[in-house]
Amino acid sequence: MKVKDLMSRNVIAAGAAETLAKALSKMKSARIHQLVITDGKTPAGMLELKSIITKDVDLTATKVSNFIKKSPSLGSEDDITHAIEMLLGSGMRALPVIDKGSLVGIISETDIMKVAGSIVRDKNTSLRDIMTVCVYVDKEEKASKIKNLMFETNVSRIPVLDGDDVIGVVGTLDLIKVLEAKSSPDMRGGRTQEKSVSEKIKTSDISAEAIMSKPVVLAAEKRLLDAIPLLQKNEELVIKNGEIGIITPKDVLELAAKTGKKGVYVQITGMHEEGIDFQKRMDAAVQSFVNKYTRMIDNIEYLVVHAEKMHKQGPKQKYSVRVRFKAPFGFFVSHAWGWKPLDVIQEAFNKMEREIARKYDPIKEHEKAKKGKAMRRM
């Protein structure tokens, strides 16, 4: 299947000279997280909602050009497997499709969900195994706290609870309303579950319940097969498993990227802009982890390391690293943050090793006991 078979040809774009207020209005109306930015007729990059939403900016005075992010592009004849790898490698939710220098479409994670059921081999995997445990807030939590949580933990959605019940999700699209409230005192809530934002209200007084979207909640016992159709229409699924977890289209793409590949599939994404020396050191750290566990565990399927730049504090850059690991006895996910990327990667691996030991050591003891019992019978 080709990119042209799934891409959207009705591209919503913004000019580099437009204000953020106008660009965010387009995102909110179309419920999209990225806009293709054009300079005249030429694609100039992408505008990511995530890079704006946690910052204090004047939407009416700030130009889109200040937030343009360079992005890779795809051709309409590219294979969907290549599109998956490019989306994962860039960390973006959507990429422009360009033929002969002209913008002809855009393809998103959600577009690929339409065919994920025919690509992913592990469709019977339990949602418990692949969900990422996430932070969550009470319905009375303030928007300012939610914004800070997104900033500090590098997430784009946070579930909202009323007691033990998941009643909503606050995502980056929902936080547009907070920015609008700050920039435009006359803004009123547009959905029935929103409370109207009164004139000159302080953004710190807006509650999670006032801006949240309706969640799609699944039990942890459900299978990926149940989740894929829902991810064609929803940005995330909230999973209840004693803990609160999230599954996104990107999680499914990671599984799709492994399909058809033999041996241990190692995928490192998000660090393509770093220098060669750094990439070599990161590759060495990843390979060391793989070598250690391939000696201990048979039939390891894949390891995905996704590193992402979060924000800067002066000259310092903060990084987020998520690691997903698949062994015969389960999936493992770990997440770490920090200022030194190699240290963050190592911390994520250390967390992963502790979780593997927690699950794997009892299995080893059980197998050892079974072998001992069989020997005694001989």
The per-residue pLDDT for range 17-44, each reduced to its tens digit, is: 999 999 999 999 999 999 999 887 778 8
pLDDT of residue 272: 60
Residue 234, pLDDT above cutoff 60: yes
pLDDT of residue 160: 96
Residue 4, pLDDT above cutoff 80: yes
- Quick one: pLDDT band at residue 187, thresholds 50, 70, 90? very low
pTM of the model: 0.74
pLDDT of residue 190: 43
pLDDT of residue 277: 79
Q: How far is CA 146 from CA 136, 169, 326, in A?
A: 9, 11, 31
Instruction: Give the pLDDT mean for 294-304.
Output: 71
Instruction: Give the pLDDT mean for 367-376.
Output: 52
Better pLDDT: 222 or 341: 222
By the 8 A CB rule, do 333 and 327 touch? no
Residue 53, pLDDT above cutoff 90: no
Q: What is the mean pLDDT of the chain?
A: 81
pLDDT digits (tens, 9 = 90+) for 199-212: 444 555 789 999 99
- Quick one: pLDDT band at residue 129, thresholds 50, 70, 90? confident
pLDDT of residue 97: 94
Q: Tell me how far apart the alpha carbons of residues 25 and 23 are, in angstroms, rounded to a whole number.
A: 5
Better pLDDT: 15 or 304: 15
Residue 230, pLDDT above cutoff 60: yes
Residue 366, pLDDT above cutoff 50: no
Greatest CA span in the chain, whole angstroms? 83
pLDDT digits (tens, 9 = 90+) for 139-184: 999 988 898 888 877 788 999 999 999 999 999 999 888 887 766 5
Write down all domains in the chain, each with its CATH number in brackets: 3-112 (3.10.580.10), 127-249 (3.10.580.10), 260-375 (3.30.160.100)
Name the residue among 305, 301, 304 with its Cα closest to residue 264: 301
Instruction: Give the pLDDT mean for 56-81.
Output: 90
Of the chain, the percentage scoring pLDDT greater than 90 comes to 34
Better pLDDT: 331 or 161: 161
Which range has the worst mean pLDDT, 98-107, 195-204, 212-221, 341-350?
195-204
Residue 309, pLDDT above cutoff 50: yes
Sign, CA torsion 363/368/373/374: positive
Of the chain, the percentage scoring pLDDT greater than 70 comes to 81
Instruction: Give the pLDDT mean for 336-359.
Output: 83
Which range has the worst mean pLDDT, 132-136, 288-292, 325-329?
325-329
pLDDT of residue 288: 83
